[in-house]
Amino acid sequence: MIFKDIECMLIDMDGVILDNTYDNNFWQNQIPEVIAQNKRISFDDAKKLAIQIFNYKKDTKDWYDVDYWSNMLDIDIEAQKRSEQSFSKISLYDGVIDTLNELKKKSKLILITNAHRKTLNIKLEKYDLAPYFDDMVCAHELCYVKEDIQLWYMLRLKYKLDYKKTILIEDTINNINVALSAGISGAIYLGDEGFTASDKILKLSSINQVLSAIN
């Protein structure tokens, strides 16, 4: 992969900049606990119920929609996300800020996340990431999510991006494959899913390794 002509880096948030612990614990433990209390059922039964409900909307716009789940579950999801039990688990990966500072010197940086704007704002209250990016995009506000190729076409139009000079830094291989299909020149993959080797995908273990890869 040739990085010398890169003009823009599209960077995912969760699993790339922020540790996934916050989101995983919230949906796998905290919300089932609330469901168990509200419905007066066991935690195990509540967790099974939550999994059934969540899987129905997986990889769709609703999956990431805080307001949708508040209405569906009759739970104030935003308030739950702001609770100390949850908020305290938001954490940056070590060294990320220094890395973003250096990457910003080399190209335009755009944060692209499937997270709902309310979720993004909560995370920004703990870590103000805005100064390191030229813009921060919540995918569903463009009416699609990263699993849908239409999102990548809309993103290119919105920012007048030359995809031949754009790379994606992402931890979900399916999202990378969709972005590549839309014309993005290459991607840096930070996840642990299996994938088919490609000269357009560079596998790294941390965003902090990107600097050495592009120099």
**pLDDT digit string (tens) for 188-206?**
999 888 888 788 999 999 9
CB of 6 within 8 A of CB of 105? no
Q: What pLDDT sits at residue 171? A: 96
Element of type H or E holding 43: helix 43-56
| Token pair of 120 as six digits | 């993004």
Cα–Cα–Cα angle for 60, 40, 49, rounded to 5 degrees: 25
Same domain, 64 and 96: no
Q: Which residue has the higher pLDDT, 58 or 67?
A: 67
Same domain, 95 and 147: yes
Same domain, 203 and 112: yes
Please report whether residue 198 resides in a domain: yes
Q: What pLDDT sits at residue 197? A: 78
Pick the range with the lowest mean pLDDT from 5-14, 50-59, 124-133, 141-150: 50-59
pLDDT-based confidence at residue 80 (cuts at 50, 70, 90): very high
CB of 149 within 8 A of CB of 177? no
Domain boundary among 87, 106, 140: 87
Same domain, 82 and 113: no
Boundaries of domain holding 106: 8-19+91-214
pLDDT-based confidence at residue 48 (cuts at 50, 70, 90): very high
Please report whether residue 203 resides in a domain: yes
CA dihedral 87, 92, 97, 102 (to 10 degrees): -140
Domain count, the chain: 2
Average pLDDT estimate for 42-61? 91
The percent of residues in the chain predicted with pLDDT above 90, rounded, is: 85
Q: What pLDDT sits at residue 123? A: 97
Please report whether residue 13 resides in a domain: yes
What does the mean pLDDT of the chain come to? 93
169 Cα distance to chain centroid? 10
Establish how many alpha carbons lie within 13 A of residue 191's alpha carbon, considering only the half-sphere containing its beta carbon.
18
Please report whether residue 57 resides in a domain: yes
pLDDT-based confidence at residue 1 (cuts at 50, 70, 90): low
Same domain, 75 and 139: no
Same domain, 66 and 101: no
Which residues, other chains included, contact 2 with Cβ-Cβ below 8 Å and sequence gap of 6+? none
CATH at 113: 3.40.50.1000
Same domain, 15 and 25: no
CB of 87 within 8 A of CB of 81? yes
Domain boundary among 44, 72, 87: 87
Please report whether residue 3 resides in a domain: no
Same domain, 100 and 190: yes
pLDDT in tens, 154-183: 999 999 999 999 999 999 999 999 999 999
Q: What pLDDT sits at residue 161? A: 96
Q: Which amino acid is at 159?
A: Y
Q: For residue 19, is pLDDT > 80?
A: yes
> Which ranges of 65-107 would DSSP assign to H, the alpha helix?
66-73, 77-82, 84-87, 96-106
Q: Minimal CA–CA distance to 77: which of 85, 89, 69, 87?
A: 69
Same domain, 14 and 120: yes
Please report whether residue 2 resides in a domain: no
Domain boundary among 87, 118, 134: 87
